[in-house]
Amino acid sequence: MRWRCVGRKLAFRSFLIVALLATSLVIVSWLTGSYLTKPRRQFIGEAPADLPIVHVSFQSDSGETIKGWHCRCPDSRGIIVLVHGIRDCRTRMVDRARLLQAAGYSSLLIDLQSHGESTGNQISLGFKERHDVAAAVQLARSLHANEPVGVLGISLGGASALLASPLPIDALILESVFPDIEAAIHNRVTCRLGKWPGYIPAELLLLQLAPRLGISRDDLRPIDRIREAGCPVFVISGSDDPHTTPEETVSLFNAATEPRRIWLVEGAGHVDLLAAHPGQYEQQVLTFLNLHLDQSNR
């Protein structure tokens, strides 16, 4: 009888431990989800003095007010909408604006909703941000009515552009863009916890899409939209990027229609590819833009 009592106590204690661990995992997962969707608003300050920048403010169909900078190039060859990644802002894109300015292209740098100085109370991982990109393209077309328009988006910025497709643009550059939210979440979690230990925490994060954002994982699949881009597409990512793997980058490229181009940056991880490889980046990006935005070829 005593052994039975001991066995029951051990079983009960084991149950309590498992229950506590499971509860802790759910709580940590919920807190992580809160961080990922929490707004990353910040004061931007003065625009770079070396660029001819004008502050702009416009409405997104999501209802938010989007802030940005318009950089007009004399004798502009076209305008490129520059869209940053998650928990970042338009200042990340300044070096790209400089590169474009030197090559004769104007640019429109925006803060996605809930980022930088734009309004918003939640990051929606591309679902609502797609409206910001669409509104930015519309503004770019009105500011440069007789010029070609392109979009260059990093990670969340590129995903948002794809989720907004088709857009009335003439070229699309995608840097380090995830094919779907499942891959994005699983890759980031397993980078920290390992493949099998990270599986359940990643799934717990994905389960929060409905209660937090009112959407499902099927609503966040940029790879399903790339075929609708309706313009030349350039897919770029690091060959050693654990967040967006080379295999995922190739799958995104394969889903696009011609004309399309891919560049796996040798040895690069999930980093600012311009900062990591400035010479190669300039050559690759400008070659693509010059080919597809040159109005003499249109």
What is the CATH code of the structural domain delimited by 38-180+220-297? 3.40.50.1820
Residues 6+ apart with CB under 8 A from 21: none
Q: How confident is the model at residue 97 (pLDDT cuts 50, 70, 90)?
A: very high
- The three-state DSSP-derived secondary structure of 168-208 is CCCEEEEECCCCCHHHHHHHHHHHHHCHHHHHHHHHHHHCC
Secondary structure (DSSP) of the chain = -HHHHHHHHHHHHHHHHHHHHHHHHHHHHHHHHHHHHS-EE----SPPTTS-EEEEEEE-TTSPEEEEEEEPPTT---EEEEE--TT--GGGGHHHHHHHHHTT-EEEEEPPTTEETS--S---TTTTHHHHHHHHHHHHHHHTTTS-EEEEEETHHHHHHHHT-S-S-SEEEEES--SSHHHHHHHHHHHHH-HHHHHHHHHHHHTTHHHHHS--GGG--GGGTGGG--S-EEEEEETT-SSS-HHHHHHHHHHSPSSEEEEEETT--SS-HHHHSHHHHHHHHHHHHHHHH-GGG-
- Cβ count near 76 (within 10 Å): 19
pLDDT at 4 (0 to 100) = 58
Kindly report the average pLDDT of the chain as a whole number.
92
CB-based contact 84:108 (threshold 8 Å): no
Looking up tokens 């916890």 gives 193
Percent of the chain with pLDDT over 70: 91
pLDDT in tens, 6-42: 556 666 566 667 667 667 667 777 788 888 899 999 9
* Tens of pLDDT, residues 210-262: 999 999 999 999 999 999 999 999 999 999 999 999 999 999 999 999 999 99
pLDDT band of 296, cuts 50, 70, 90: very low
